[in-house]
Amino acid sequence: MDHAPLIDPFARPISYLRVSVTDRCDFRCTYCMAEHMQFLPKKELLTLEELDRLCSTFIGLGVKKLRITGGEPLVRRDIMTFFATISRHLETGALDELTLTTNGSQLAKFAPDLAALGIKRINVSLDTLDADKFAAITRWGRLDQVKAGLEAAKRAGLRVKINTVALKGFNEDELFDLVDWCAAEGFDLTFIEVMPMGEMGEEMRLDQYWPLSDLRARLAERFTLEELSESTGGPARYVRLAQTQQKIGFITPLTHNFCENCNRVRVTCTGELFMCLGQEDNADLRAPLRASGDDAALIEAIRGAISRKPKGHDFDYSRQTVAGQMTRHMSHTGG
């Protein structure tokens, strides 16, 4: 069988796979989902066994980092059986890192088991430390539940990175509160520019857009920002705050094109492979998965898709209409 590593047309090895395991979530964050989402019929979703086979195939082709996303991955029924089986690749050394992005609501329940399976760190999405604002932006979420989950993650020894979407007029006034809180808790912190994805009704993206260049300038008024050269091959650029030694990340899809070193692809919970978050081009991996118990057709489909991976994408708010605006919700591709 063909196990040569995956290399895209621009000589970038594909070593990082993000997989959404569900489109469902127990929150309804205003920039991610409509309040009354139409969720997918169960038969369209990959089963846990299909997800394992898909991820294992990618690992066999050189993927070293696997990130599980959603929706909210921990609301999928029996998801821990998937984590338990896929963690075998950590034990063999085929996989360097297994991790997940979560809203934190289920961590009080699952953090010990995740840590026991070899997961070392997690990303937790959190946009405000104000309980009322948290309830407003998540529509259904409770901040105290998330904070209890974060405590459980710390007790279990999981390294936590907080992902905060920068939203003008919403959490601008909490910039230093968030930085100070993460310092006190021992969490890393990454700020993310809001992305033009999905039709959010009256939640206008241009009104919410807070450029991270402005956020960063405000940070620099209080802290000395030391540039860090490290790159995960992903979109984040990092600085260290000299006064606290905190690592702060910035993900700026709109004001900084981060595609040159892109080493990642994404698979949705229905088995669509997206080679670029900012492009509609995708490949159906569910059909070859279900057509045969043999992986040859699946590998052929993956290789064909990677051969079409584009060099970059185009998101630009400067024209006040969003070029390259995506019609799908963020929950569909897993953030």
The annotation places the binding site for GTP at 18, 67, 101, 161, 264-266
What contacts 106, CB < 8 A, 6 or more positions away?
Answer: 26, 72, 74, 75, 149
State the residue for tokens 């991996």. Answer: 285
Compute CA distances 265 → 36, 275, 297, whole Å.
28, 5, 19
Residue type for position 295: D
Does residue 324 have a cis peptide bond before it, meaning omega lies within 30 degrees of 0?
no
What the block records as the tokens of 85 is: 């089986």
What the block records as the tokens of 223 is: 């802290």
Enumerate the known binding-site residues: 18, 25, 29, 31-32, 67, 71, 101, 125, 161, 195, 259, 262, 264-266, 276
- In this structure, the strands spanning 264-267 and 16-20 are parallel
State the residue for tokens 């066999």. Answer: 60
**Secondary structure class of 41 (helix, strand, coil):** coil
* Separation of alpha carbons 77 and 314, rounded Å: 36
Nearest to 123 by CA among 190, 71, 168: 190
Enumerate the known binding-site residues for S-adenosyl-L-methionine: 31, 71, 125, 195
Do residues 285 and 267 lie in contact, with contact meaning Cβ atoms separated by under 8 Å? yes
Helix (H) or strand (E) run with residue 57 in it:
helix 48-60
Enumerate the known binding-site residues for [4Fe-4S] cluster: 25, 29, 32, 259, 262, 276
Instruction: Give Cα 106 to chain centroid, integer Å.
Output: 17
Compute CA distances 278 → 204, 209, 244, 332, whole Å.
19, 17, 35, 13
* Separation of alpha carbons 324 and 301, rounded Å: 25
Helix (H) or strand (E) run with residue 201 in it:
none
What the block records as the tokens of 197 is: 């994805």
Helix (H) or strand (E) run with residue 171 in it:
none
